[in-house]
Structure 1
């Protein structure tokens, strides 16, 4: 074999690997060649910026994010370690076009190369808007923007919670506007409104206000205002994050979203109960104008007084009108006075006429002894003509005598002592009649036996076990024996 030939063809059928003369390259292990490739790739591509579409995004339990970047012709795996994930300004999702910054490396376990992403940004405003529309459609499908979820704002909240930056012009505009319209208690929860961690702070502030106790040391607001000044879509992106949208939608306190200016719209505006075009407008929506309320109260008080006095005034007018239509006292009494005069005159004439007629009748009446004797004779004749029969008196007396005799016979029949004349006796104990033998117990008090000619006191003996009446117990006289 020539010295410059790496191997001899005649040795192809060798079973064992051997080193030839002049061969100083030992075979490499898989790990060694993998490490060499890893160093080569990392040295050559230690810093790269790649543009592509996210695919297969998943977050592991360890907190690392695994994904793939692709374009029309190629796919590159990528990983973002847990330490770099908090720096993300958006939530990675499939289909988002991004610019990823990091370094290429290899993964020997699968003989693949990949990019370790240190920073990831959305590739341009178009991609950002596409992500916004995609997130909006997904949250809208869940019903977070439904009109029936919107709640009415309190008319005059006693406490207002404001979630915004404590150093910006927004909070000063809100406080100034509230002071002019309706001074009220304001609680400011300071948060970042832009940059890393801003979305988390805003969401925590909204949930923190909702978790306050109504009667706690820090009063729970009746209304929330989430506010920020104007800016680009990137500046306002924190209020498009899903964590903020869900916090606002789930807030138990009615919320006003005042993010940006009139033309700026965020997903927080859709989730809030009311959208304000500017933070100043949010303060105007939150409270009424105190001067207008006082004027309204004065007007209502005036209307109340008018309403209270109007019935009195109308009643007075009606009373006067009706009183004018009433007749005078003289008019009411004139017919009766005339009637009284007429009746008095008729009475006078009637008495005069009555006296004249009585005088004439008395003059016509002729009283003489003959007339009186004639009247007496006529009376005697009428009395003699009246025949009185004795039966008219004796018949009712006889009927009543018969009725009285019948009652007497009935009394004698019902007299409980009548049988005593026939040999019977009346048994009583302590003044009460004894009807049955079992009603008398041995050793009881004395029994009284009443006969026709007197009474006897007896003591009852032991009661027999069974009383049997036999004919021999009755003597021929018809009277029972006394035991």
Structure 2
């Protein structure tokens, strides 16, 4: 699908003189552009109603789609500069009314409509589009009760976003004034039409950017209000950008759009929904008269409770006073007498206590003498000497037994030393003296050293294919007398016990 400038019109090619007649042939391009001009002249401005399908948003910004009904379909194109100004964005399944002109696409010999405006076709299509948008925002969590902010109980400043004219703002101001006289800041906006959603969103962001200590204090609460109307009239409050602005606001927001039966998208995103604008004013503010009555009732109850407490304390004081003597000196007479008696007995009691402890010390001191300590030390020395006599031989036997075991282990270790080969065995070392433990570590022609128990000889490794050399007959060993077997020695034999 292309525009008019995509093709340049060329005049008919001049036919040869021999072929000229009253009905000259046309080229394909001539016929296509002639049909294009005819369509554009005849259907320069049309309005169509149909369902959108096959929406294709090209990287260039143009949108290509198909409009259809139950019997036919037509291709459509929306140029990049027109997309943002549409009353409804194209979505598959949406029923719309479009306005534009009919043209053709000569490259495929097909006709199409160049759409200049688009609007939803009735309440049914509007509600279907609203349900799809609600589902997407619900999946993002914008409707969750956990993210909704609580309303202030005693707001000092309330912001109202509505039309400055009409009954809505008068009802809200009147209701707030008679219930809770406080500061009200009105942000005037239009509440119907294509520009309403953007103005309301800008007002919410403007209130949210205020500071509490600024020249105009930031409101504690916002009310977005509008009177009742049809679905088309309230459609601006179903704008996705407005719903996201409400969800992102830091100030609690009450939605009061339409009557109680009307429902818009910001009702689900706002922190509280009011059935009417007047109801929003009642939700936002307490009743000052009720608060004053409740406060006066609390003051009266406090005064009555204080009076009862004082009377109870007065009664208890009177009862305690009846049990007291007539003169205060009588209260201290008996305790003072007991103190005098105790003071008179204190000196003799201390002397008797010292005498008792002195006698106890004399008894204990008589039992303590140097001879007793010496005898105790002698007993401890005798016991220590007996222990030494008993454990000395046992420790010596234990040391001898361990020494014998250590000598046996040393002899066994000497027999297993790889550096001392036994008769009949040899150790193979490489040129640097490292022991070789496997045939894989040897290569043909490698010089090695064979170490026997009685000496060492050099050798060279043959290749893998070399056959075994004939073995020389071993020389008969000289006859010798067998060495006498050594007698077992009993030296160092320890006691088993």
Equivalent residues of 1:223, 1:253 under 8 A apart: yes
What is the aligned partner in structure 1 of residue 12 from structure 2?
none
The alignment partner of 1:303 has SS state of helix
Equivalent residues of 2:88, 2:118 under 8 A apart: no
1:418-466 superposed Cα distances (whole Å, 9 cap, x missing partner): xxxxxxxxxxxxxxxxxxxxxxxxxxxxxxxxxxxxxxxxxxxxxxxxx
Equivalent residues of 2:96, 2:120 under 8 A apart: yes
Matches for 1:61-100 after TM superposition, within 5 Å? 64-82=62-80, 84-85=82-83, 87-100=85-98
1:233 maps onto 2:212 in alignment: no
Matches for 1:316-331 after TM superposition, within 5 Å? 316-326=314-324
Equivalent residues of 2:104, 2:110 under 8 A apart: yes
The 1:63–1:304 alpha-carbon spacing in structure 2 relative to 1, beyond 3 Å, is farther
The 1:62–1:169 alpha-carbon spacing in structure 2 relative to 1, beyond 3 Å, is farther
Between the aligned partners of 2:17 and 2:293, the Cα distance in structure 1 is 108
The 1:31–1:160 alpha-carbon spacing in structure 2 relative to 1, beyond 3 Å, is farther
What is the aligned partner in structure 1 of residue 161 from structure 2?
163
1:245 maps onto 2:243 in alignment: yes
1:144 maps onto 2:142 in alignment: yes
Equivalent residues of 2:137, 2:143 under 8 A apart: yes
What is the aligned partner in structure 1 of residue 55 from structure 2?
57
Between the aligned partners of 1:217 and 1:67, the Cα distance in structure 2 is 52
2:178 to 177, 180, 190: 180
Equivalent residues of 2:83, 2:89 under 8 A apart: no
What is the aligned partner in structure 2 of residue 294 from structure 1?
292
Equivalent residues of 2:155, 2:285 under 8 A apart: yes
Between the aligned partners of 2:68 and 2:44, the Cα distance in structure 1 is 20
The 1:126–1:33 alpha-carbon spacing in structure 2 relative to 1, beyond 3 Å, is same
Matches for 1:303-322 after TM superposition, within 5 Å? 303-322=301-320
Name stretches of at least 5 consecutive residues in structure 1 with no aligned partner.
Answer: 1-16, 337-483
The 1:304–1:132 alpha-carbon spacing in structure 2 relative to 1, beyond 3 Å, is same
The size of the alignment, in residue pairs, is 319
Equivalent residues of 1:89, 1:195 under 8 A apart: no
Matches for 1:3-18 after TM superposition, within 5 Å? none
What is the aligned partner in structure 1 of residue 267 from structure 2?
269
| 1:294 to partner: Cα distance | 1.9
TM-score, normalised by the number of residues in structure 2: 0.59
Equivalent residues of 2:52, 2:67 under 8 A apart: yes
Query: Which protein has the larger Cα radius of gyration, Structure 1 or Structure 2?
Result: 1
| 1:154 to partner: Cα distance | 0.8
Matches for 1:16-415 after TM superposition, within 5 Å? 20-59=18-57, 64-82=62-80, 84-85=82-83, 87-326=85-324
Between the aligned partners of 2:166 and 2:203, the Cα distance in structure 1 is 17
Name stretches of at least 5 consecutive residues in structure 2 with no aligned partner.
Answer: 1-14, 335-497
What is the aligned partner in structure 2 of residue 367 from structure 1?
none
TM-score, normalised by the number of residues in structure 1: 0.60
| 1:36 to partner: Cα distance | 1.1
| 1:223 to partner: Cα distance | 0.7
Over the aligned positions, Cα root-mean-square deviation in angstroms equals 2.8
Between the aligned partners of 1:139 and 1:191, the Cα distance in structure 2 is 25
1:287-307 superposed Cα distances (whole Å, 9 cap, x missing partner): 111112222222233333344
Between the aligned partners of 1:168 and 1:81, the Cα distance in structure 2 is 39
| 1:137 to partner: Cα distance | 1.5
Between the aligned partners of 2:56 and 2:246, the Cα distance in structure 1 is 26
Equivalent residues of 1:90, 1:241 under 8 A apart: no
The 1:213–1:92 alpha-carbon spacing in structure 2 relative to 1, beyond 3 Å, is farther
The 1:319–1:301 alpha-carbon spacing in structure 2 relative to 1, beyond 3 Å, is same
The 1:273–1:320 alpha-carbon spacing in structure 2 relative to 1, beyond 3 Å, is same
Equivalent residues of 2:171, 2:277 under 8 A apart: yes
